[in-house]
Chain A
Amino acid sequence: MAPPAHWRRAKERYRLLGSKCENCGSIYFPPTKVCPKCRRRGKIVQTEFSGRGKVFSYTIIHAAPKTFEKYTPYILALIELEEGPKVMSQIVDCKPEEVKIGMEVEACFRKLFEQDDDGIISYGFKFRPIDDSWRK
């Protein structure tokens, strides 16, 4: 994959950004240029998600393409963000047997992959189980 393609969506990957239609209030992920509900009447602006959500579904990936091979087995999940939209991401800091549908998670910043030993390193969001125990 080429540098421009990595760079084009880096902001959204780093900060978990989506879109909001100021006309109807709908929130979207991935970012969109069109509000499917309002179409021409819609006014799309950037929105940043809190990062908190719940596991909607998950799987453990054992067979992965070369890019992700060294990370197997890893947990791939559909996370339902508290704002509504779903994202596809990995769950980290968690054993495969500990993942449950409905588990509360929060976004964190991790490496997605490296392109060869001398290629670009791609970063983005993953999710980890929420631990609020420090908030006493």
Chain B
Amino acid sequence: MKVGIVGYGAYVPKYRIRVEEIARVWGQDAESVKSGLDVIEKSVPSLDEDAATLAVEAAKNALKRAKNVRASDIGAVYVGSESHPYAVKPTAVTVAEALGITPHLTAADLEFACKAATAGIQACMGLVRAGYIRYGMSIGSDTAQSAPGDALEYTASAGAAAYIIGGENLIAEIEGTYSYTQDVPDFWRRECAPYPRHGGRFTGEPAYFEHVIKSSKGLMETLGTKPSDYNYVVFHMPNGKFPLRAAKVLGFTIEQVSPGLVVEKIGNTYSGSSLLGLAAILDIAKAGERILLTSYGSGAGSDSFSIIVTDLIEERRGLAPPVKYFVERKEYVDYAVYARNRCLYRR
């Protein structure tokens, strides 16, 4: 039975803070930060936005693109985030209520750093394929936390992407999925800690690259595909450099990886990151084109997907704003407003 994407939706808050502005406050060299990360600015949520509100906005856009799917047809909602508003009380139920999906559904919140939502997609695929639900929704949404003055502050941003998974009305088929998971303490946050901690350069090779590369390779081996079979590849984007390096190692070209690189102007949207990259591709891909998606979540693991766009994409992608719209509609704030919006003064 085929299974795949029935609708997708994005949302990125309006406000931005430039690398220069953050560097100014901490007395660092903006140019070397920018060239080191390939990021020039990041998104900043409003004071009244959180992972739940972002998830609802993205989910509404996904439902718009799913056209003939009624909210009541959705049988599962999963929200993956590192910044769920409550430690106990799931974001997923707020999303389900806000979209009118309640009460006949299963729901849960997921956490696996930046890859929780792709795990959610896999869960939906299973439920759909097994015939338990007709459609399922997985949303990656974050208003990511970063300690003031820490390197992560330049990239930890806010955004969400939602995917409706089903066995019919597909705008893109998921022909296979593969995951690679180990216990790696590269980046973590204890429950009462306001900000995460990380292992510096340890987050590179043994963490991000190990899992992204092994998972992507594992998928291609399983399906018998090679990089040249793909038109696009999307990796999780902690910065603008890591995905380029992963692409090179795996044998993908710059032309395949660039279109999905949304991180430069919105930063790392954490659980939304790779899924926003995928959405950016779905905004432009033609019927028959193939996409490789590999997410990465610290802790650590990667989920890979091989996706083929169908001809239904043309009539459905215009039903909600494209990622480009969200990237480009922006207003800059200074560090003081950023600190206020992120409640940095409270911790």
Contact = CB atoms under 8 A, between A and B. Distances in A.
Direct contact of A and B (CB under 8 A): yes
Interface of A: 10-11, 14-15, 48, 70-71, 92-93, 108-112, 121, 123, 126, 131, 133-135
Contact of B14 (A48, A93, A134, A135): A93
Contacts of B99: 15
B48 A135 contact: no
Contact of B52 (A10, A48, A123): A123
A136 B98 CA distance: 28
B46 interface: yes
Contacts of B52: 111, 121, 123
B106 interface: no
Nearest to B98: A14
A15 B329 contact: no
8 contacts: A14-B98, A15-B100, A70-B47, A92-B48, A93-B14, A108-B57, A110-B46, A123-B98
Chain A, interface SS category: mixed
A15 B14 CA distance: 22
B322 interface: yes
Interface centre among B85, B97, B325 (most CB of A within 10 A): B97
Contacts of B203: none
Nearest to B321: A134
Given A70-B47, A111-B53, 11 more contacts: A10-B97, A15-B98, A15-B100, A71-B47, A93-B14, A110-B48, A112-B48, A121-B50, A131-B329, A133-B329, A134-B325
Contacts of A14: 56, 94, 97-98
B56 A133 contact: no
Contacts of B321: 134
A92 B53 CA distance: 13
A133 B57 contact: no
A32 to B, nearest CB: 20
B131 to A, nearest CB: 29
Interface in B265-320: 318
A11 B97 contact: yes
A126 to B, nearest CB: 7
Interface of B: 14, 46-50, 52-53, 56-57, 60, 85-86, 94, 97-100, 318, 321-322, 324-325, 329
A76 to B, nearest CB: 13
A92 B98 CA distance: 19
A109 B49 CA distance: 9
A133 B322 CA distance: 11
Given A15-B100, A133-B325, A134-B325, A123 B53 contact: yes
A128 to B, nearest CB: 8
A14 B57 CA distance: 11
Interface centre among A14, A93, A109, A135 (most CB of B within 10 A): A109
B81 to A, nearest CB: 14
Nearest to B54: A109
Contacts of B14: 93
A93 B46 contact: yes
A131 B325 CA distance: 10
Contacts of B325: 133-134
Given A93-B14, A134-B321, A135-B318, A109 B47 contact: no
Contacts of B98: 14-15, 109, 123
Please give me the 4 A-B residue pairs with the lowest Cβ-Cβ distance, nearest first. Answer: A134-B325, A14-B98, A109-B56, A134-B321
Interface centre among A11, A48, A134 (most CB of B within 10 A): A134
B252 to A, nearest CB: 29
A46 to B, nearest CB: 10
B48 A126 contact: yes
A71 B97 CA distance: 25
Contact of A71 (B48, B86, B94): B48
B50 A111 contact: yes
A48 B100 CA distance: 10
Nearest to A14: B98
A121 B48 contact: no
Contacts of A121: 50, 52, 85-86
A113 B57 CA distance: 18
Contacts of A133: 325, 329
A121 B57 CA distance: 17
A22 to B, nearest CB: 20
A74 B98 CA distance: 24
Contacts of A112: 48
A14 B49 CA distance: 14
